[in-house]
Amino acid sequence: MMIPLKQYAIPFKGLRIGKHHYQFEVDDRFFAAFEGSEIRKGEARVAVELDRGEAMLEVQTSLRGNATVDCDRCLEPCTLPLSFDGRLTVRFSEEADDYDGDILWITPAETELNLAQYIYESIVLSLPSRRVHANGPDGKPGCNPEMLKRFRTMTPESFDRMADRAEKRLGNNPEFEKLQQLKVTMNNHKKTK
């Protein structure tokens, strides 16, 4: 069931000049409303302080919660904390420009400010660039150990051993020639370091 994003709109027309406070809840349905969202599920509390001025709106946003995304290391679901504090300036113009991250232009005919997209982008920005499971109490990665075994890095020595075994087995095979070329390239790369 899709959640209507209208519930994240603040009707500002008719608000008196000054500060107004709002609270929003974000849950799994919120993220499902954004097509192609990398966030599988999550929850957050969003506190908004809207300062209504004569010619603009100032929006202070603070959000705290967590979101589940795919781990960059093991590809399993990984729950990460969310924390974001931001400021958005809303200006009025007959020619509404694109939102640039700090300033949102809307026409004077608008009567409400929908913060759904801003909240979603703030959550995405609050995620770390490297999204991995935290280490456990034993100091080992919290990732799926079976997946970690599959992603082990091959050392040049182990590659050489594999190439030698393949050479004995394959002889004059065209695929072996590609492997040999790769081995030469790796050895040349090692020498340039």
- Sorted by where each begins, the domain ranges of the chain are 5-142, 153-192
- At 60-72, the pLDDT tens digits run 999 999 999 999 8
Residue 2 has pLDDT above 60, yes or no: no
CB of 74 within 8 A of CB of 147? yes
Q: Which percentage of the chain shows pLDDT scores above 90?
A: 45
Structure confidence by residue, pLDDT tens digits, 37-48: 899 899 999 999
- CA 108 vs CA 14, 23, 101, 111, 150: distances in Å: 13, 25, 20, 8, 57
**Contact predicate 71/148, CB 8 Å:** no
Residues near 64 by beta carbon (within 8 Å), at least 6 away in sequence? 44, 45, 82, 83
Specify the pLDDT at position 193. Answer: 56
DSSP string, 140-152: SB-S-HHHHHHTP
Q: State the amino acid at position 191 in one-letter form.
A: K
Nearest-angstrom CA–CA distance, 19 and 188: 66
Distance CA 186, CA 76 (A): 32
Q: Which residues pair with 124 in a beta bridge?
A: none
Determine the pLDDT at residue 115.
93
For residues 32 and 182, what is the distance between their CA atoms, to the nearest angstrom? Answer: 44
**Lowest mean pLDDT across 60-69, 120-129, 139-148:** 139-148
Provide the mean pLDDT of the chain. Answer: 84
H or E element that contains 175? helix 174-192
